[in-house]
Amino acid sequence: MRDQKVAYVDLSTREVRQELIPEKMREMYLGGRGIDMYLLYNHIPPGCDPLGPENVLAVSAGILGGTLAPSSGRCHIGAKSPLTGLVGSTNMGGFFAPELRFAGFDHLVIRGKAESPVYLWIRDGEVQIRDAAHLWGKDTGETPAIIRGDHEDEDIKVMCIGVAGENLVRFANVLSGLKNAGGRTGMGCVMGSKGLKAIAVRGTQDLAIAYGEEALGYLEHLMGLIRNNEVFKEFSKWGTPMFHSSSDVLGRVRNRNFQRNQVPDGESLYAENLAKYSIGMAACFGCPVHCRHRYVVPEGPDQGAYVEGPEWSTLSALTAEVDCRRMETALVGNYLVNKSGIDSLEFGSMVSWAMELYEKGIIDDRVTGGLKLEWGNEQAVYEMIRQIATREGLGDILAEGPLRAIDRLGEESGYYNVHIKGMSCLHTDERATPSHALGIAVSTRGADHMRSRPGVDAHVLPPEVKDKLFGFPTPEMTSYEGSAKLVWWHELLYTISDALGVCKFQAIFASPSTIGYDEYCTLTRYITGLELSPSEMTEIGERIYTLERMFNNREGASRKDDIPPERYLVEPTPLGLGDFKGKTIDREKFEGLLDEYYAAHGWDSDGVPTPETLARLGLEGEPSHIL
């Protein structure tokens, strides 16, 4: 395996230096999200302003990025979040991370603030800070096109922000390509605060494979495993929007903010209605699934623009949450949020919250500037995308995210905002599923389904099969008993996926018969030469996740922050099938789940890692400043 490097870039002094990543760091954290979390904990001063020059932006590829591993194109971006004040962490697919490795780097650490807009130009071991005055104000489609034209190279991969990031929208995202979005926790806002418009990469270097012949043979095995899986066959046809119909029927989606858990007469939003717009499916680097739709914007001023998506979360955020029923609304809105560089999930929650406040008379036309924020008003949805991105009118308030927007709109508004740790909850409703509610409540980056959701519990499997799969008794989806350990198990697996730089959708997240710890260990050995057992890899996941918890503890987070929103606890689900109707999260039982969850991690009753756990994981000396 070739030497693996991190580039340190100071935008204030314009200094760039490079360091090799010690093998010991690989053994402890692998790469990607793992080493990024080490870098953030070691380089970000406690209590620093997320929008100040002392905040650090980490960008990385996983240890398997750009290799023979299936779907090894995931890119991790981390910093202190301007949205939550806690761990900022987001992950996107596409082709940027492999190109970063081909250019000779596995990690970037960016600090400081440029005097005027800049972008990074990285090519085959060299990092340059270049002027970006001509890029400032451009959207996420124009920016990469201009950079490629400037360098006369269409193969350059670009990660950039839109006008939302420039205007410091606290949930601005990072885009690479047409839809590869690092959406959560406001990493685009951090880039904007540093005057960093984009990172452009072009690489022609090789990646060494430790055991090439064995790796090729194992790749063939895994590709067959994925291609022959019935779940992935559906993914290839419908993409993630296929989850919407089953969730809606059960009563697991948000409608009218948090008033309903089904969309009455909402069949128009089911995945099959995308068929008449889809012109084919696209994929990320090395992916055999091809789960993203390609389409052209069907109407409006941007009609005819070429787009990819939408993901299920975007589909629901732009339709079900705000009670719009046309698929076209999701397609137009998906284009607009990506073009502006806005996290679609956070957008849907903030605007549906504003609509509920408008309905209840907590805000009125004086606050909205005359805009009728009524349920189903798709033109108001499009206008709020513009207002948030440009910080105009009510958009300037919503652009601040839940915590600060509540402060500005008053205490009464707070009850209706559904968030955890300052990050809006999902497009789904977890009141009937305790494991899912626990997962979003304890997630280190705020309310989130991609950190620990036991997706496999939606599959109808015999109990003995599930128990064998996880190694311990597992609960039914609506049961409390056993939910804590199930969340813990998935947290560690998904952490490993992010550290390896591979797509967790091809792991047990989506199907019980695909990739798990055994496969990850074999892949890592054949490709990198690192010999790790499943138990050792599990411990790496525990180390990374515990370090994230340490970051949050250092910033003041504790057990008090690991509780679902009040509405989860007091408002029963009004709709749904069977056990999904009439449900709330039981406060007392949930507190018991927290105790079990903390114990599984080796944390105390307040969610703080114990000295014994720190010693076991080799974290007692952090920050150690090895890198």
Architecture of the structural domain at 434-617: Orthogonal Bundle (1.10)
425-446 per-position pLDDT tens digit: 999 999 999 999 999 999 999 9
Of 553, 533, 442, 453, the C-alpha closest to 494 is 453
Please state the rounded mean pLDDT for residues 163-180: 97
- Tell me, what's the pLDDT at 231? 84
- In this structure, the strands spanning 87-92 and 107-111 are unpaired
pLDDT of residue 458: 59
Strands (E) in 272-381, as ranges, are 281-282, 292-296, 306-308
At residue 1, does pLDDT exceed 90? Answer: no
Whole-angstrom distance, CA of residue 120 vs CA of residue 337:
24
Give span(s): CATH 1.10.599.10, the chain. Answer: 434-617
606 pLDDT band, cuts 50/70/90, is very high
pLDDT of residue 8: 98
DSSP line for 231-295:
HHHHHHHH-GGGHHHHHHHHT-B-BTTTTBSS-TT-GGGSGGGGTTT---EE--TT-SS--EEEE
pLDDT per residue as tens digits for the range 457-508: 656 667 777 777 778 877 788 899 999 999 999 999 999 999 999 999 887 7
pLDDT tens-digit series, residues 137-165: 999 999 999 999 999 999 999 999 999 99
For residue range 322-340, what is the model confidence (pLDDT) as tens digits?
A: 999 999 999 999 999 999 9
pLDDT digit string (tens) for 517-576? 999 999 999 999 999 999 999 999 999 999 999 999 999 999 999 999 999 999 999 999
Task: Count Cβ neighbours within 10 Å for each residue of 62-82 and write b for 16 or more, e otherwise.
Answer: bbbbbbbbbbbbbbbbbbbbb
Type of residue at 473: P
- pLDDT-derived band at 456, boundaries 50, 70, 90: low
d(CA 55, CA 297): 38
Question: DSSP letters along 516-572, please?
Answer: -HHHHHHHHHHHH-----HHHHHHHHHHHHHHHHHHHHHTT--GGGSS--HHHHHS-
Query: 115: burial class by Cβ within 10 Å (0-12, 13-18, 19+)?
Result: exposed
Query: How is residue 463 written in tokens?
Result: 């109990």
Cis peptide upstream of residue 310 (ω within 30 degrees of 0): yes
What CATH architecture is 230-424? Orthogonal Bundle (1.10)
Write down the mean pLDDT value for the chain. Answer: 95
User: Average pLDDT, stretch 168-172?
Assistant: 98
The two three-digit tokens of residue 591, written as one number: 């507190």
Distance CA 426, CA 184 (A): 11
Dist CA 486 CA 488 (whole Å): 5
Please name the helix (run of DSSP H) or strand (run of DSSP E) that holds residue 18, with its range, or none: strand 15-20
What distance in Å separates the CA atoms of residue 256 and residue 352, rounded to the nearest whole number?
6
Please report the pLDDT score of residue 131 as a whole number.
98
pLDDT given for residue 455 in this prediction:
73
Spatial separation of the C-alpha atoms in residues 343 and 182, rounded to whole Å: 8
- Rounded distance between C-alpha atoms, residue 362 and residue 377, angstroms: 19
Residues of the chain with CATH 3.60.9.10: 5-202
Q: In this structure, are strands 196-202 and 118-123 parallel, antiparallel, or unpaired?
A: parallel
Write down the pTM of the prediction: 0.97
Structure confidence by residue, pLDDT tens digits, 12-50? 999 999 999 999 999 999 999 999 999 999 999 999 999
Which pLDDT does position 468 carry in this prediction? 74
Question: Which run of H or of E encompasses 188?
Answer: helix 187-193
**Structure letter (DSSP) for residue 504:** G
**556, two tokens:** 């003041």
Q: What's the pLDDT band for 113 if we cut at 50, 70, 90?
A: very high
pLDDT surpassing 70 at residue 415:
yes
CA-nearest of 252, 92, 60 to 177 is: 92
Rounded to an integer, the average pLDDT of 358-377 is 98
Q: In b/e form, how buried is each residue of 171-206, taking b as 16+ CB within 10 angstroms? A: bbbbbbbbbbbbbbbbbbbbbbbbbbbbbbbbbeee
Alpha carbons within 13 A on the beta-carbon side of 160: 33
Rounded Cα distance between 520 and 172, Å, is 32
Output the pLDDT for position 457: 61
pLDDT at 473: 79
Cα dihedral 57, 453, 401, 569 sign: negative
Residue limits of CATH 1.10.569.10 in the chain: 230-424
- Rounding to the nearest 10 degrees, give the CA dihedral for residues 353, 358, 362, 365: 130
- Report CA-CA distances (Å) from 449 to 77, 181, 306, 491: 17, 16, 29, 10
3-state percent breakdown (helix, strand, coil) of the chain, nearest 5: 45, 15, 45
Do residues 185 and 83 make contact, with C-beta atoms less than 8 angstroms apart?
yes
Read off the pLDDT of each residue in 74-93 and give the average, rounded to a whole number: 98
CATH of domain 5-202: 3.60.9.10
Give the per-residue pLDDT at 230. Answer: 85
- Among candidates 241, 429, 453, which has minimal Cα distance to 349? 429
Model confidence at 306: pLDDT above 90: yes
Residue 461 pLDDT? 67
Q: Among 214-223, 225-234, 369-378, name the one with the lowest average pLDDT.
A: 225-234
